[in-house]
Amino acid sequence: MAIEPNPLEFGKYYHIYNRGINSCDIFYEDDNYHHFKHLIIKYLLPVANCFSWVFMKNHFHLLVKIHEENQILRFQKIRELKTLDAEKRLHMQFSNMFNAYAKAFNIRYNRTGSLFENRFKRKEIFDQEYLRDIIVYIHNNPVKHNFCKHPIEYPWSSYDEYLTKNPELQFGPEAKVLFKNHLEYKELHFDSLYNPQKYSDLEF
């Protein structure tokens, strides 16, 4: 019997991740990546800040911080969810996002059945150092899987959003204080490329 994952809680950080069922691809072309990003903006940003993300061919990683309850209730788009308890309200936003993507993907490619492997997985992040390590791990995922030699070369991650003033997904000011400056940010990513053992405990 599958173990029921812990519920999402207000004000906490989570590493959210999942892959295609039987490791099948969940992204075929650029439009798929763009649509997945659009759905994150539509469904997840009303309830969470997105600190980092990467979309791979058959899986994805998101690092989010769930808003406090009073912040979430301000959003007009999810007022109809106020009658639900907190856990269901949060989980529904994530489930609706993944279900919307799977439905659109199945229609476009004339397929049926589940797209993702079981429920989306989540791991709570408890401290700032671990939070920073997860960001580096997520950005270097394409390097790990031999899609590129440096994360800046991969187009479907938030790596370069830390170096810009107007990120589309990644929440800038709060996330950026995790790094002293751009130099430290780049050095930590570079260091992880040549010291992968340091981040081995982050494998999921």
**What is the predicted pLDDT for the residue at 119?**
83
Does any domain span residue 154?
A: yes
Amino acid, res. 12: K
The answer to whether the beta carbons of residues 54 and 156 sit under 8 Å apart is: yes
**What is the predicted pLDDT for the residue at 182?**
86
Continuous segment of H or E residues that includes residue 196: none
Q: State the CATH number of the domain containing residue 92.
A: 3.30.70.1290
> What's the distance, CA 75 to chain centroid?
21
**What is the predicted pLDDT for the residue at 74?**
66
Does any domain span residue 149?
A: yes
Does any domain span residue 6?
A: no
Q: How many domains does the chain have?
A: 1
Does any domain span residue 117?
A: yes
Structure tokens at 3: 């173990």
**Minimal CA–CA distance to 49: which of 184, 181, 168, 180?**
168
Amino acid, res. 186: K
**What is the predicted pLDDT for the residue at 59?**
96
Does any domain span residue 4?
A: no
**What is the predicted pLDDT for the residue at 1?**
38
Does any domain span residue 1?
A: no
**What is the predicted pLDDT for the residue at 71?**
76
Does any domain span residue 32?
A: yes
Does any domain span residue 5?
A: no
Residue/partner pairs of 173-181 with CB below 8 Å, 24 or more apart: 174/49, 174/51, 174/65, 175/49, 175/51, 175/52, 175/135, 178/128, 178/131, 178/132, 178/135, 179/132
- Mean pLDDT, 10 residues at a time, over the chain (204 residues)? 67 94 96 96 90 95 90 60 63 92 97 91 89 92 92 92 73 73 87 64 54
Q: 125 - beta bridge partners? A: 13
Q: In which domain, by residue range, is 153 found?
A: 13-202
Q: How far apart are the first and last CA of the chain?
A: 20
